[in-house]
Structure formats: structure tokens, C-alpha cells
Amino acid sequence: MPKKLHHKQKSARYGMKNTQVLRHLNSSELVSASNRFVELLNRLTYKQAYKRYNKHLDIVMVTEGEQELIDLHTHFAIRKPETMSHKKFSKAVKQALELSDDFEITNPNYDAEAEILVDKYRYKLDLIDEGWITYIKKN
């Protein structure tokens, strides 16, 4: 999920807890943020070969939520390099998310006592199958 941006500051004199007004990213801002994430992930995965030899990950990126009444967000289908382990690749994804600073990594509504680890993070890494590709393409 993309982070919300600061829109304006409200006066604190009315006893409001949070005086910041945040707004969602628009479609073009989300695409730019997603492209930055992809570039960072390519750099972390392929190091100098990304620039020197134009090596890059095979990625399908789809933004969703503009037509629906849900938050605008991005789905990715990324082919992991065969030479990289799942654990190392998941660390690279997390590091790219942290470096981009455009996306929320942890869920602010997470209940630590619920012990459901899937709900702790705002992103999910899973193996790509045909069902996932069909889902993000909305066929």
C-alpha cells in the first residue's frame, strides 16, 4: 500500500489529536513510486550489471483501485532470478521498499496478540501462479 502524503496542517486549537491532513497518491504519483521501487529492486538484485549490461527483472505491474471505491494500490508479478534464493530475494524486496519510502511496510492496525503474521505487513510475497496473473489482469 502506498503511503499517504501530507496535504495541509490544521489548527490544533479545537483539541484535535491529529492536525495533519493526509491525502492518497493519485494514479501518476503511484506509477512513479512503483517505478522507483522497481528500479531499486533491479539495482539490489543485479548490482552493477543492471546498468552495465541492462539486466533487469521480468515484472508485470498493475495499478488497481482507480475505478473502484478502494485505495489505489499496485500489484506486482516478479520473476525471481534463478541464481538467487527465496530468502535473499525477499530481503531485497524489503530493502527496496524501505529505500523507496513510498510504501507502507507494516500495517498500523496490526494486533500483536492476534498472532496472524500475514496481517502484520502491508505487502505479501508469494509464488506466482496462473491464478495470480489472471487476478491482477482482471480477465
Helices in the chain by DSSP H: which ranges? Answer: 27-46, 49-52, 86-100, 130-137
Average the pLDDT over 17-44 and give the result: 83
pLDDT tens digits along 91-111: 999 999 889 888 877 776 666
> How far apart (Å, rounded) are the C-alpha atoms in residues 112 and 118?
11
Q: Assign 38 a pLDDT band (cuts: 50, 70, 90).
A: very high
**117 burial class (0-12, 13-18, 19+ CB within 10 angstroms)?**
exposed
3-class secondary structure for 46-81?
HCCHHHHCCCCCEEEEEEECCCCCCCCEEEEEEECC
- The pLDDT assigned to 55 comes to 92
